[in-house]
Amino acid sequence: MFAVKRAILLAAGRGERLRPWTDTTPKPLLRVQGQPLLHRLIARLQAAGIREIYVVTGYKAEQFAALPVQFPGVQLLFNPYYAQANNILSLYAARAHLQDCLIMDSDQLLADAFVLPHELPKSCYCCTWQEQETREWLLTVQEGRVVHCRRAGGRKGWQLFSLSFWSAADGARLAGHLAQAFQEPALWHLYWDDLALTQHPQDYDLGVYPVQPGDILEFDSAAELAAIDAAYKV
């Protein structure tokens, strides 16, 4: 078992699929139901007892500058490569803090019913079982272990969300793989999740933390955002 002691929140991206709103405001700072997404998320994590929180910024980083004052315990990290690479280098910027942590994108909403675990038996991804066809990443699990990742989606698999938990040992492995990837620009187009799920799966014993549909809301389009806040209807 390991206890979740800290959080890494990735907030460096441009959010281009939500233009024009993200032309002026980073996606994690868009106001949804009257409050910036990231503010709501940090408050939720702190209420759950997670006080050590790292936010990795990039695009319009200056707009995040007040967070450590607004939320004591929050520390900012900067990814200078946010325009040149995928989020693999955002997590690289946080590689010193990956032990006993949760990692997630900072543009999500956690439903009131969602329970953040305090202890876990091993590193795992939040997932919901998907019977129907989906384009989202699907994990195949055998005897409690993730054995395959279908990046192109499919059906009948565990659909992962960008919220995962990492033990000290796996966090150290992940930090090592991030350091290796940093030295290989040909890998910069990858998501950081690729390191454990498709590049080095033999080095990790990952599980699944089951969640219900609607527990974790991700917004990749104006329509998805408008379903929660009518101010974004186009």
CA-based nearest residue to 128, from 117, 137, 118, 116: 137
pLDDT tens digits along 71-112: 999 999 999 999 999 999 999 999 999 999 999 999 888 988
Greater pLDDT, 234 or 137: 137
Whole-number percent of the chain with pLDDT over 70:
100
Residue type at 12 in one-letter notation:
A
The CATH homologous superfamily for domain 2-232 is Spore Coat Polysaccharide Biosynthesis Protein SpsA; Chain A (3.90.550.10)
Supply the pLDDT for residue 118: 86
Domain extent listing, the chain: 2-232
82 touches 13 (CB < 8 A): yes
Q: Is the pLDDT of residue 222 over 80?
A: no
pTM, 2 dp: 0.93
